[in-house]
Amino acid sequence: MATRKFFVGGNWKMNGNKAEINGIIDFLSKGPLDPNVEVVVGVPAIYLDYSRSKLPRSIGVAAQNCYKVAKGAFTGENSSAMILDVGADWVILGHSERRNVFGENDELIGEKVRHALESGLSVIACIGETLDEREGGRTEEVVFRQTAAISKAIGQGSWEKVVLAYEPVWAIGTGKTASPEQAQEVHDQLRKWLAKEVSSDVSQKTRILYGGSVTAGNCKELAKKEDIDGFLVGGASLKPEFVNIINAKQ
Ligand code: 13P
């Protein structure tokens, strides 16, 4: 079986100012962080340059969104080229807040994923069902549809630069974490979907993160599940407990 390096992403969302970011950089620099874990923080675009210049090099920096073309008359948008230009290597795409608050659909997310990968960024691609969809028994249908749109954009080529993040919308910012069993079940289904629709190699090598109310208190149980290869952490990534979440496997 392929070994997948544990991956912990922090998504700061639209939070922080320089003073608060200095605090986060301070606790991340002090750690100590498990050296076997890949750590990436998702930073508001306006602070990407600042954060990249201050964070230890071992910690990756991600934008939280970017547009689907390199440049042009798209007021308010940022491009992959700009993200790379300030030294960040990653972008989070398809986050449920982009889908549900800003109306991004599967097609646009696919176009963004394709352009980001072609530009040389690595992508944290997010998927997840709403509460209505889960209660209606549609979880798999929804996450497979979202993954298919991402997969189509990737083709067979660049999966090694993609991390999938399963974030059930009902668990985001609500304090209602998916149980380790609930998360494992969806991760297992996603891995089987990748094996069938892409390749067994991609299925074995692609990291599938869980996101949604991950804390220092629940991360260890989640991390024990065989198909949970890390986390995408919102609120708790702004606090020193993020270090404990990074070290969940220890
Ligand atoms: P919370 O950890 O605050 O629930 O947010 C999860 C998330 O949306 C990470 O992208």
- Best residue for ligand 1 mutational test, from 167, 231, 237, 241 (most atoms within 8 Å of Cβ): 167
Q: How far apart are CA 180 and CA 44, in angstroms?
A: 30
DSSP state of 104: -
173 lines ligand 1 (CB under 6 A): yes
Task: Determine the average pLDDT of the residues in 120-130.
Answer: 97
CA neighbor of 67 nearest in space, from 16, 147, 121, 17: 121
Give me the pLDDT at residue 2, please.
Answer: 61
Which atom from ligand 1 is nearest to the alpha carbon of 165? 10
Residue nearest to atom 5 of ligand 1 (CA): 234
CB 53 within 8 A of CB 47: no
Give me the pLDDT at residue 156, please.
Answer: 67
pLDDT at 116 over 90: yes
Please report the domains of the chain, with CATH numbers, ordered by start residue. 10-19+41-49+58-232 (3.20.20.70)
- Residues 77-94 have pLDDT tens digits of 999 999 999 999 999 999
Q: What integer best gives the mean pLDDT of the chain?
A: 96
Q: Which of 129, 133, 167, 241 is catalytic?
A: 167
- Residues 128-184 have pLDDT tens digits of 999 999 999 999 999 999 999 999 999 867 899 999 999 999 998 888 888 999 999
Q: What's the CA angle centered on 177, arms 173 and 218, to 5 degrees?
A: 110
- Residues 235-247 have pLDDT tens digits of 999 999 999 999 9
User: Is the entire prediction scored with pTM above 0.95?
Assistant: yes
Residue 115 annotated in active site = no
Q: How far apart are CA 172 and CA 158, in angstroms?
A: 28
